[in-house]
Chains A and B, each alone.
Chain A
Amino acid sequence: MATAQEKSSVMAGFQAVIPLVLGYFPIAFSFGVAATRTGLSPLEAFSLSLIVFAGAAQFLAIALLASGAPVLVAGLTLAAMNLRHLLYGPTLLQRAGEDRSTRWGWLWAFALTDEVFGAALGALAKGQRFSEGFMVILGFGAYGSWLAGTVAGAWAGGGALDSWPAVGAALDFMLPALFLALLLSILSARQVPAILIAAAATVVGTWYGSSTLGLFAGMIGGAVVGVFGRKAEAVDAG
């Protein structure tokens, strides 16, 4: 029998997943349209969303397939691009404190995307207690929206947005808008140095290397600055 706390976490999961469902559907729609535009069948587009479930990597996947890149090279490129996900689970568990649990980790880890991680982190920062039910609802609600959006986009076809440039522009901006809103939701003065360094390192890494290097430089650089900032605070407090 579910405890009151578990029921509360489940309800919180349904509330927290609404932004992800609303944000994911149009982005996945764009992916479905882009995939069919580059020659993938609707089934192939759906399979990528079903198996990979990583937005940016899926957009890169269709570009690599269109360019004729060898499967092994393309697969390893996409996997390298997603290496940042190594940090997400431990970060959430560290924030979860005494509530941490991984009994169903094999399940909810599948859906631990950038946006699900960001939404979970934002909820925990606002006082939500960690539970695996919360994570399953958050992750698989987003997953369902992603699959539905992909199907709708693939069904609409490659030329769906050609006569609607304003809708295309709005859909293109959905993902940065979601990240910015998530960032604002967890923003505090203490984190500003880490955020600024992350932003600067992302720009430098992308300009002088690649977008994947930029992602790594930003995350690692910002986190390292955060470590030293927190250490300095601890010293000052002491």
Chain B
Amino acid sequence: MRADVLQLALMAGGLTYLWRYLPLRLNLGDMPKDGLLARFLAATGPAAIATLFIAEMLPLLQDTQAVQGRAGVGVLAVILAFVWRKSVVFATLAGAFACGAAAALGLS
């Protein structure tokens, strides 16, 4: 195993662990529910997930028309599947399957 790969993994993994763990040590017990930090943290979740979705979609939308087309098919499938079953796993798999099927049918 190459030393640079191990060093990179340890540095990135160690710092990422600190980002995930250290904030838990903050004392949030006395934080007022209508305080600025509480409102900020409550709003962070939906904003973060929306951000991650858009960040994943941007490379697909900047790709060829075929990739854009099958990404659109996938998005539509996720929405329809979620509306139908209200299940995250079902909607995820339906979106991926629809995207793969669109590629198989010529959008590749």
Nearest A-chain residue to B56, judged by Cβ: A176
Minimum CB–CB distance for A121 against chain B, Å: 4
CA distance A229 to B40 in the complex (A): 10
Query: A128 contacts the other chain (Cβ, under 8 Å)?
Result: no
Minimum CB–CB distance for B37 against chain A, Å: 8
7 shortest A-B CB distances, which residue pairs?
A226-B43, A222-B47, A170-B100, A218-B51, A75-B11, A177-B95, A19-B89
> What sequence of 0s and 1s flags, for each residue 1-34 of chain A, a beta carbon within 8 Å of any chain B beta carbon?
0000000000000000011001100100000000
Nearest A-chain residue to B11, judged by Cβ: A75
Contacts of A156 in B (CB 8 A): none
Known contacts A53-B13, A109-B24, A222-B46; decide if A179 and B39 are in contact (CB<8 Å): no
Minimum CB–CB distance for B78 against chain A, Å: 5
Known contacts A75-B15, A91-B42, A166-B101; decide if A218 and B47 are in contact (CB<8 Å): yes
CA distance A225 to B50 in the complex (A): 13
Nearest A-chain residue to B74, judged by Cβ: A173
A227 & B1 in contact (Cβ 8 Å cutoff): no
Known contacts A22-B89, A198-B47, A203-B54; decide if A181 and B103 are in contact (CB<8 Å): no
Interface of A is mostly: helix
Contacts of B57 in A (CB 8 A): 176
Interface of B is mostly: helix
CA distance A224 to B7 in the complex (A): 36
Chain B positions within 8 Å of A, measured between CB atoms, are 1-2, 4-13, 15-17, 19-26, 28-29, 31, 34, 36, 38-58, 60, 67, 70-71, 74-75, 78-79, 82, 86-89, 91-97, 99-104, 108
Nearest A-chain residue to B57, judged by Cβ: A176
Query: A171 contacts the other chain (Cβ, under 8 Å)?
Result: yes
CA distance A179 to B16 in the complex (A): 20
List 8 interface pairs A-B (beta carbons < 8 Å), by A numbering: A52-B13, A82-B15, A85-B16, A85-B19, A91-B48, A100-B29, A117-B45, A202-B51
Known contacts A22-B89, A177-B92; decide if A219 and B7 are in contact (CB<8 Å): no
Known contacts A184-B79, A226-B39; decide if A83 and B96 are in contact (CB<8 Å): no
Known contacts A52-B16, A173-B96, A224-B40; decide if A186 and B8 are in contact (CB<8 Å): no
Contacts of A57 in B (CB 8 A): 12, 16
CA distance A221 to B47 in the complex (A): 8
